């Protein structure tokens, strides 16, 4: 074999090896959730002039198949030109998604939760400057044998007005991975359980489209993928 021919073969092998390294390295970034999404969000009550409040959730989360634990980042943004003043955001779980803790927030008493929800935390914000955002680390569990939804209403500090509400929006997958260490879930996707009898999903609460607040008797109505949070609510004790 000539040295020129050997050099060509060696060069081809190096190039192939380099290509393989590039291909194998891409999955390492698969856990990157990318930018947050306001999917399932809707403005409700009119905010003060110059204030525009929204929320963001990750496009993708991952549930540990053994512990059912997952982590979610919930973000509140003021996209307006003026400061928000005192507001609060609630982080509420429904069906298979149970909120266990939200960093820097307090547990919502069961009597104050909207009917159909299973958990929630209230996060007070003294002021959100124009153009600023605030993110919260949400610890949750997800029962993959059920649907699972989350809701983020942004309200006045007393809860009498809701400026924005994201959800109840589902996380889920149509391709369960029961034998994998974790199952990736996508925002805005209804969950399909891995169980053989997964054609009929368990339902909890009073239904997907009507979620009245038990303590106040004020309803939370679904509109498309987003619901309208209560316009007023019984004051917290």
CA distance 119 to 207: 16
- The answer, yes or no, to whether residue 199 has pLDDT greater than 60, is no
Biggest alpha carbon–alpha carbon distance for the chain? 88
pLDDT tens-digit map of 135-177: 999 999 999 999 999 999 999 999 999 999 999 999 999 988 8
154, 148, 137: which is closest to 90 by C-alpha? 154
Would you state the pLDDT for residue 119?
Answer: 98
CA distance 23 to 131: 39
How much is the average pLDDT of 7-21? Answer: 40
Would you state the pLDDT for residue 114?
Answer: 85
pLDDT averaged over every residue in the chain: 78
Partners of 134 in beta bridges: 76
Q: Domain ranges for the chain, please list them.
A: 34-194+207-228
pLDDT tens-digit map of 41-71: 999 999 999 999 999 999 999 999 999 999 9
Would you state the pLDDT for residue 196?
Answer: 56
Q: For domain 34-194+207-228, is the CATH number 2.60.40.10?
A: yes
In contact, 148 and 142? CB cutoff 8 Å: yes
**Whole-angstrom Cα Rg for the chain:** 22
């Amino acid at each position: 074999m000539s040295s020129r021919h050997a050099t060509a073969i060696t060069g081809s092998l190096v190039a192939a090896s380099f290509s393989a390294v590039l291909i194998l390295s891409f999955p390492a970034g698969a856990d990157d959730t990318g930018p947050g999404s306001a999917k399932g969000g809707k403005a409700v009550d009119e905010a003060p002039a110059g204030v525009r409040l929204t929320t963001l959730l990750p496009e993708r989360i991952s549930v540990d198949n053994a512990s059912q634990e997952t982590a979610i980042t919930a973000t509140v943004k003021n996209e307006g030109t003026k400061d928000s003043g005192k507001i609060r955001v609630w982080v509420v779980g429904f069906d298979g998604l149970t909120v266990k803790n939200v960093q820097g927030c307090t547990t919502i008493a069961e009597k104050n939760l909207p009917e159909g929800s299973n958990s929630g935390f209230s996060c007070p914000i003294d002021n959100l400057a124009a153009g600023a955002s605030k993110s919260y680390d949400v610890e949750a569990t997800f029962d993959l044998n059920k649907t699972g939804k989350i809701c983020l209403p942004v309200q006045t500090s007393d809860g009498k007005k809701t400026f924005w509400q994201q959800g109840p929006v589902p996380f889920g997958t149509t391709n369960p991975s029961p034998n994998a260490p974790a199952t990736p879930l996508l925002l805005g996707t209804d969950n399909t359980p891995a169980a053989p009898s997964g054609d009929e999903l368990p339902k909890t609460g009073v239904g997907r489209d009507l979620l009245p607040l038990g303590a106040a008797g004020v309803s939370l109505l679904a509109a498309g993928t987003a619901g309208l949070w209560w316009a007023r609510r019984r004051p917290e004790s």
